[in-house]
Structure 1
Amino acid sequence: MTFSPPLIALANYLAGEFDNKSQALSQPAWYVHLRLWIRPVPIFREDSITLFAEQANVINLDLPYRPRILRLRQRETIEVEFYMFEDLATAQGAGQNKDLISQITPDKIKFLPDCTLRVATQELVLGKYSFETTPITEKPCSVTYQGITFQVFLGFKANADELLTYDKGIDPKTGKGTWGALMGAYQFNKRQDFSEELNEENRNS
């Protein structure tokens, strides 16, 4: 399928290894020093560009957490659908191990119906864009794992130079944040570019 230039640009901006070192050093009381991996996944190729994401504290890079799937789709606007893994352990470490990416298949993940984001696109100069998300529904994004249901706010801004993430856990009783971007966005810079893996997928499809 032929994708729009903005959708391709968004996928290229997101595909990479990121960290928030500068932010963590300047505001250590509020921001953990994280490493974030976002890699292309060869599924849903017929109508989407799909990415795997997970993160880790830099002092525990061998213990990544929050593995998830982002499916970028072109509708009236760009939308990002979120999926979680039926068994989180099957995907743990795929951000650092490209071989594990090829083992991710649609039967191992499940769609999170209230966790889709709508993406607003601003063209800055020819071929360069800025993206900002908003939830597509007012219903809280809910994730159930091992019989426990969690509420999560998802959101990000992205351009060619920076990725800002607003993900945070929400206490369903109080509506207050419990973890994540409680004091504002995590400010990530790309340290390694994985966008070439998108091109590899196109050559192999």
Structure 2
Amino acid sequence: MSLPSQLTDLAEYLAGEFDNKEQAIADPVWYVHLRLWHRPVNLFSEDSMTLFAEQANIINLENPYRQRIMRLKAGSDIEAPLQIQYYMPKDPGSLQGAGRNPALLDTLTPDQLELLPGCVLTVTQQKIAPHGYKFVATPLPDTSCTFTYLGNTVQVSLGFEASAAEFHSYDKGIDRETGKATWGAVLGPYRYTKRNQF
């Protein structure tokens, strides 16, 4: 089955190694200097494309965190032709460091992942400049991305914009009692620049 060209373009824009060095230097109080990896993974390849994601503080690259799987697939809505479904590794520690060491992903199978039903983004394509475009990913309306991690219930608000050279992350943790953001893109997106293409 051939995949839509928009889907393969989205995967190409997302796949890579990124950091937000310029943002962290300009505003170190609010933005930690992070490295972010999106590694292609050979899962669900019959109808979608899949990426492994994790990030690390630049001063502690040996301890990456937020391991997750992004499954990119065609959507059913003409207004939002693409969707991303998130999964969490059942044993995140077994994949820790796979951003820098992709061989750790070679034996990953779907049964090692937990589907996160409320963690879905719809993706649209928007024209920018005369010859370029970006992808904008936003949560489905009336959904909540909630999961259990290390015995705690965690709620996250997801979202991003991706162009050929940049990735802007709107991900933030939400306090379930107050509904307010507690970490992540509290004052605006983390603005990553792509340093290597995978």
Q: TM-score, normalised by structure 1?
A: 0.91
Q: Deviations over 1:82-112 (max 9, x none)?
A: 0001111111111110211112111111110
Amino acid at match of 2:42: P
Q: Which one has a larger percent strand, Structure 1 or Structure 2?
A: 2
> Are 2:112 and 1:99 equivalent residues in the alignment?
no
Per-residue deviation, residues 52-105 of structure 1 (Å, max 9, x unmatched): 000000000000000000000012310000000111111111111021111211
Taking the aligned partners of 2:65 and 2:162, their CA distance within structure 1 comes to: 22
Structure 1: runs of 5 or more not aligned: 195-205
Alignment of 1:105-124 (within 5 A): 105-124=109-128
SS at match of 2:117: coil
What root-mean-square deviation, in Å, do the aligned CA atoms of Structure 1 and Structure 2 show? 1.5
What corresponds to 2:136 in structure 1?
Answer: 132
Structure 1's consecutive aligned runs of 4 or more residues displaced over 3 angstroms after TM superposition are: 123-128
Deviation at 1:33, TM superposition (A): 0.1
The residue number in structure 1 matching 2:171 is: 167
1:11 — aligned with what?
11
Please give the secondary structure, in 1, of the residue aligned with 2:30: coil
Aligned CA distance change for structure 1 residues 175 and 100 (closer, same or farther; 3 Å): same
Q: Which residue of 1 aligns with 2:48?
A: 48
2:146 is aligned with 1:146:
no
Question: Separation in 2 of the partners of 1:146 and 1:56?
Answer: 19
Q: Is the 8 A contact 1:65 1:92 kept in 2?
A: yes
Partners of 2:131 and 2:15 lie apart in 1 by 17
How many residue pairs end up in the alignment?
194
The answer to which of 128-137 and 107-116 deviates more is: 128-137
Shift of 1:39: 0.5
> For the residues of structure 2 that align with 1:72 and 1:126, how far apart are their CA atoms?
26
Q: Distance in 2 between matches of 1:114 and 1:50?
A: 18
What is the match of residue 74 of structure 1?
A: 74
SS of alignment partner, residue 13 of structure 2? helix
TM-score (norm. length: structure 2): 0.94
CA deviation after TM superposition for structure 1 residue 128, in Å? 4.3
CA distance, structure 1, for counterparts of residue 37 and residue 120 of structure 2: 20
**Alignment deviations for residues 95-134 of structure 1 (CA, whole Å, 9 cap, x no partner):** 1102111121111111100010000112458984311111
Q: Is the partner of 1:46 in helix, strand or coil? A: coil
1:4–1:123 Cα change, 3 Å: farther
Once residues 126 and 53 of structure 1 are traced to their aligned partners in structure 2, the CA distance between those partners, rounded to angstroms, is 31
SS in 2 for 1:75: strand
